[in-house]
Chain A
């Protein structure tokens, strides 16, 4: 099967979304820098967004989510922006108070 001549399907998009999601999860799990963890979250949200758009696309399937897929993707983008702002504010606050950005040291609430 030649990848240059076979048409694109929803599964192609889902596979790319899965790779983005998994790299985001691995990023969240392994980074010690709080900002690295944030970047992992962005990747995860993007992988999910890709799936929504693929299911809403008219070029890939006969029956689609229609506009709902794209609208949900838009809301996800907006909420991701809000989440990044708050998380960044928390990270900066943490950095100001503890002089480190290492999440391994953010254990003051630990019992």
Chain B
């Protein structure tokens, strides 16, 4: 139970707007229907305007609502309406592209989030934020003056060079207005219809999409699922061993001789070995998912990953026999998968892209 008085309404509103903005942004990326995308984008951008208001920049928030939601999006919706032929309203993306895009997105999100949370100064709220008066924070007038070249918020600027009128935004303002004028003329010129009826080359044949009803035999399906499960298990084992290493001396030494020798040999290898192997197993699982989604390049990746793993092992100080045995053991399932893909009629291989 939260005490009502303890609730920080600024945080509550922030959470609301942030959830709406992020949720509908994800919906924009997830839906295939372009009309729905336009609608979700409207809500997402509107919620972002709310976040601007909460950050105390009401002028930017108002401009976001007027220019983005009121202007740019109306333009986009007109574009959607002008091109909304039945076959372009909902265009499916191939599953392989989703896998790739998702992997890139996840990596980027991890990088950005870890950067956003890494600086202590950014994570601590302003101590006396209750004392920041709304009047002091009002920004429309200073923004207007800054656009005409006067920075009233920097009147006590100490640097002589910055005081010489260079701290205003007059020149960028003029450049942007010229830019807008040029863009308006150019866009109007480009978008006009040149020949009457030229838009009705629409009967031109659109290249046939990939066949819908592709079949994979039962054995191929079982083989791929088994490979996915085994690779994920191996990756989990690697990361688990990384998180809680087997103790080699002291109390916790396992009684099982095999576990004991495993712990000793793992302790002898360099520290980067386990994360690398685990990452490569995860890459293998992703590649199997790619093969499952009918992308032929996944098979090539499946051959390459065990070779890379064997190289990693031999670089980590493993004997070459050990790496060779590992390579052989890893490549047998891959060879079996390729054989399975090639067998049957129509073979799964011939149906792949």
A interface list, Cβ under 8 A from B: 2-27, 29-33, 35-36, 38-40, 42-43, 46, 49-50, 53-54, 56-62, 66-67, 69-71, 73-75, 77-82, 84-86, 88-93, 95-102, 105
How many A-B pairs have beta carbons closer than 8 Å: the answer is 290
A15 to chain B, nearest CB (A): 5
A90 touching B190 by the CB < 8 A rule?
yes
Asked if A88 and B187 sit within 8 Å, CB to CB, the answer is yes
Tally chain B residues at the interface, Cβ within 8 Å.
105
Which residues in A have their C-beta under 8 angstroms from that of B270?
none
Interface residues of B in 74-107 (CB under 8 A from A): 75-76, 78-80, 82-83, 88, 91-93, 97-98, 100-102, 104-105
Residues of A close to B100: CB separation below 8 A: 29
Q: Which residues of B contact A (CB under 8 A)?
A: 2, 6-8, 10-12, 14-15, 18, 21-22, 25-26, 28-29, 34, 37-38, 41, 44-45, 48, 51-52, 54-57, 59-60, 63-64, 67-68, 71-73, 75-76, 78-80, 82-83, 88, 91-93, 97-98, 100-102, 104-105, 108-109, 112-113, 115-117, 119, 121-127, 129, 132, 136-137, 139, 142-143, 146-147, 151, 153-154, 169, 172, 176, 179-180, 183-184, 186-188, 190-191, 193-194, 198-199, 201-204, 206-207
- Nearest residue, chain A, Cβ from B177: A78
Do most interface residues of chain A lie in helix, strand or loop, or is the interface mixed? Answer: helix
**A84-B75 contact in complex given A62-B126, A74-B60, C-beta closer than 8 Å:** yes
Chain B neighbourhood of A56, CB < 8 A: 55, 57
Q: Please measure, in the bound complex, the distance between the C-alpha atom of A81 and the C-alpha atom of B117, giving whole angstroms.
A: 31
CB-defined contacts of B169 to chain A, threshold 8 Å:
71
The answer to whether B76 touches A88 (Cβ under 8 A) is: yes
Task: Let me know if B186 and A86 touch, CB within 8 A.
Answer: yes
Q: With contacts A21-B108, A26-B102, A85-B183 known, what are 13 further pairs, Cβ within 8 A? A: A4-B11, A20-B48, A27-B28, A29-B101, A30-B93, A42-B72, A53-B57, A71-B146, A73-B60, A78-B176, A80-B72, A81-B75, A100-B206
